[in-house]
Structure formats: C-alpha cells, structure tokens
Amino acid sequence: MKKLYVLFFFAITSSFAQQGSLCTDPIVITSLPYTTTDNTTNYGDNYDPSTTSNPTCSTTSSGNYYHGGNDVIYSYTPTQSGTIKIEMPSAIGWAGLFVYTDCANIGVTYAACSTSTSTGNRTINNFAVTAGQTYYFFLSTWPDPQTMAYTLNVTQLTLDINEFEATQKIGLYPNPVKDKLQIQSNLDITSASIISINGQVIRKVEVKDNTIPMEDLQSGLYIVQINTANGSILHQKITKL
C-alpha cells in the first residue's frame, strides 16, 4: 500500500507541475522579439544530468554542473530559417543558458550554451535556426545558488526569406570535409562565414573559385553561411574531419 501511495503522489504532483518545469511542457515562445522576467524558485529541480561526462560548452567543460539548481525551460519553433540571439542579461554567477534540439539531449548534447562563474550576460549570438525545428532554452544554476532571478531575451537577427531558394540553387560538398569546401552554384556569392555550433562567428571567409578553406579548423560541427547578391542566404551544417 505504501508503494501505491508513493506512485499516486508522484502522478498527482507531475500532473500539476508548473509549465516550464519540464521539457515536455515548456513555456512556448510564439513570436520574436520576446522578453520575460521570472525566478527559477517558481520551478522545480527536475534535471540533474551526470557530471562525470560533461559535453563541452563554449565557455567551460563542466556544463552539466550548471544543471544542478532549479530549471526552467522555454521552447521556440521558427516558421522561417534565420539567426537569433538568446540572452540572459546581468545573470548571477554560476548561472547557465543552454539550447537543446530535443528533450532527450538534456545533459547529453548541447546545441549551444553560455556559462560563467561570474555575474554578467549569458549570450548565445548568431544562432542559426531552421524553420519547423523546435529549440529548447534551458536556464539553470549550480546547486549553490539553487535558484535565481533572471531575464530572458530572444531576438531575431536575420530572417532567411530566400533560404528555400538558396537551398535549391546552392550545394556545399564534400560533407564531411577535410580541406576545402566547394560551393556548387550559378549564383553570385558575395560572402561566406563559418559559425560555431554555439552560434559564434569564427570568421568571415573570402570565397575564391567557389572554394572555402577549412583545413585549419579543428574537427567538429560547424555552420557555414553563404550570402548571395540576390539576397539569398543559406545555412548548412558541415562536419569538419
């Protein structure tokens, strides 16, 4: 009977969980720009992934430690591809901001992240989003402090109205790439940028003979942005060997 009571209590508690406490019931951001102010004390501590195997974050190798406090989760599904900026301004020390593309990835694979032990902004800039893909913004802290007051700002940086057109007219190969990335297109390519998976522009690239040099990059996943004279923009994920 005691076991049945515990299961019943857990079921009742879960059914009345505050929206935003669980990835399966996030606070939905319907349009940009978006801003909100809240406190994680209003949400539970539902995610404490293992700290023995930390995925690498842009600013630390101990990202899962930043999941130890109370968690709040927002979701955003863009209707058009482009780039966005996610920011927690004036965040307290030991606070972290993460982006996931699937609830199953929490603590396993970050799409982007920003953490620090010091007070200051947590910013994920130039983050490439794809139309129809849901992105989860995960805000939390180390176990001390357990909770935090926060502001979350999400803004649109670029809107790739012609992304579909660019996808049809521009090809990037080989992928994975070792040395040089070839651009296959009849369009006039004006510029190209290489962006880290955390949304940081690593460098703008001079395109010569429709070729982008990749040999000096570390192995990993990158986003290549191609801009054309007619305003088309293409974002494509590229694996560097």
pLDDT by residue (tens digit) across 179-234?
999 988 877 888 888 887 666 778 888 788 889 999 999 988 888 888 877 776 77
Q: Does the structure show a pLDDT above 70 at 118?
A: yes
Q: What angle do CA 196, 198, 199 make, to 5 degrees?
A: 70
Identify the pLDDT of residue 65: 94
Contact 148, 39 (CB under 8 A): yes
Q: Does the structure show a pLDDT above 70 at 16?
A: no
Quote the CA–CA distance of 10 and 157 in Å, as a whole number.
42
Identify the pLDDT of residue 147: 98
**Judging by beta carbons within 10 Å of its beta carbon (0-12, 13-18, 19+), is residue 57 exposed, middle or buried?**
buried
Quote the CA–CA distance of 148 and 236 in Å, as a whole number.
36
Per-residue b or e along 208-238, where b marks 16 or more CB atoms closer than 10 Å to that residue's CB: eeeebebeebeeeebbbbbbbeeebbbbbeb
**Judging by beta carbons within 10 Å of its beta carbon (0-12, 13-18, 19+), is residue 184 exposed, middle or buried?**
exposed
Structure confidence at residue 167 as a pLDDT band (50, 70, 90): low
> What DSSP assignment string belongs to 6-38?
HHHHHHHHHHTPPTTSBTTBPEEE-SSSEEEEE
Structure confidence at residue 130 as a pLDDT band (50, 70, 90): confident
pLDDT by residue (tens digit) across 27-86?
999 988 999 999 999 999 999 999 987 887 766 778 899 999 999 999 999 877 888 999
Q: Which of 74, 66, 123 is nearest to 96 (CA)?
A: 66
Identify the pLDDT of residue 171: 82
Query: Whole-model pTM?
Result: 0.66
Q: Which of 237, 239, 238, 173 is nearest to 211 (CA)?
A: 173
